[in-house]
Structure 1
Amino acid sequence: MSMFRPDLKPIVAAAIGLVMYSMPLAAEGDRLDELFDRLEGAADSRDAAQIEREIRMEWRKSGSPAMDLLHKRGRTALEREDFDAAIEHFGALIDHAPDYAEGWHGRAKAFFAQGRHGLALADLERVLTLDPRQYEAIFGLGVILEQLDRPGPAYDAFGLVLRLHPHHERAAEAIKRLDRGVNGVEL
């Protein structure tokens, strides 16, 4: 029995390209721009954690109470590990608000939890199309790539996370874990 292994190079290249080339195009004065500037210059992980909470609050703003309710229900289902219900709630959210990146991100998490990596990757690609700075989606991409035994692209994804969020502990740990295998050992 052969296992289907998708060619992830286009997805990784698209994610890297989106992050690298879209960041300068963001509108000046935007609240997220300010938060990302503060995150980049955060003195320590405690300051970064506060800024991260503010970024998450901005990401969660859908602009609609009905969409906020669907998002909350999806998150609650994820917390309960009721992944089928989470997929339903996030799917409804995506149907009604296809440009709301957090709906796609939530569904990607549920697909990943079910081991449905292809569907999770497709949703993560959509998240990054809508919001190239969504470092948690990039982190998720790195996790999937690492699980699919693609250490080089996973390392690159984790590096992008650290570029956006220099105090992201799990990305820093992943970089350390993958460094020797990707970059070899200095003699």
Structure 2
Amino acid sequence: MRILGFADTQGILVYVMVNFTSHLKHAVAAFVLTLCLSLPQSGAAQDSETVPQDLAGMMQQLRDAEADAAGSIADRIRREWDKSGSASADFLLRRGEDALESGEYEQAIDHLTALTDHAPDFAAGWALRARTFFEMDQYGRAIGDLEHVIALNPQHFDALMGLAIMLDEMQRPEDAYEAYMQVKAIHPHQAGLSEALERLEREVLGREI
């Protein structure tokens, strides 16, 4: 199986913006619903002996987890992704999130643009701004920010899942299948993944045979 790289995602995103404008709303809606999962869910923290504190350990545990444990591990990873290491960046991220949740989209964009300018290597800022642009019906900008998320964090399973959904909506089953398989290698129990792979597997593998 050919693994999609950053060059592939760049080409795909340009292709979407140029050739599939009329189909973007449904595709990007699905992408944003997935990307929204990157916002950590509230809940009790697990015991430190159960979930490793380092990100690499958590990613390994996510790959190996049973379905009933995977969701809480994924949320811990998302919380780690939301830590920039900079107090000012963390503040801007939370201000942007609060504004977005309040429906104050222009204010959210102001905070998140300040964040991406201040910390361009912080993937969570681009991810949240992509969600905000979608809410404002600015689909091209949302997709452009997704490009940054994947470039900065190739293991961002939510962004990869969003890309897979978009390719699926565009009726590009081979590319969608590859992207879904990338998600499976990172987060095998990602919501909706098994159903998507099962649906595409016969079509894609049947063509290869």
TM-score under structure 1 length normalisation: 0.73
Instruction: State the number of aligned residues.
Output: 164
Letter in 1 for 2:63: E
2:58 to 17, 28, 35: 35
- 1:71 positional shift: 0.9
Identical-pair percentage: 40
- 1:184 positional shift: 4.9
TM-aligned CA distance change 1:88 to 1:177, over 3 Å: farther
Higher relative contact order (CA 8 A, sep 6+): 2
> How well do the aligned residues superpose, as a CA RMSD in angstroms?
3.0
After superposition, the C-alpha distances for 1:87-145 in whole angstroms (9 at most, x for unaligned) are: 33221110111111100111122233444443223222211221111111111212222
Q: d(CA) in 1 for partners of 2:203 and 2:105? A: 33
- 1:77 positional shift: 3.2
TM-aligned CA distance change 1:13 to 1:164, over 3 Å: farther
User: Secondary structure in 2 aligned to 1:132?
Assistant: coil
Q: d(CA) in 2 for partners of 1:129 and 1:158? A: 17
Gaps of 5+ in 2: 1-6, 14-51
Q: Return structure 1 stretches of 4+ with deviation > 4 angstroms.
A: 12-15
TM-score under structure 2 length normalisation: 0.66
Q: What is the aligned partner in structure 2 of residue 49 from structure 1?
A: 71
Q: Matches of residues 1-187 of structure 1 in structure 2 within 5 Å?
A: 10-11=8-9, 31-42=54-65, 44-184=66-206
TM-aligned CA distance change 1:123 to 1:138, over 3 Å: same
Q: d(CA) in 1 for partners of 2:61 and 2:181? A: 19
Q: d(CA) in 2 for partners of 1:147 and 1:92? A: 32
Q: d(CA) in 1 for partners of 2:175 and 2:131? A: 20
Conserved in 2, the CA contact under 8 Å of 1:12 and 1:153? no
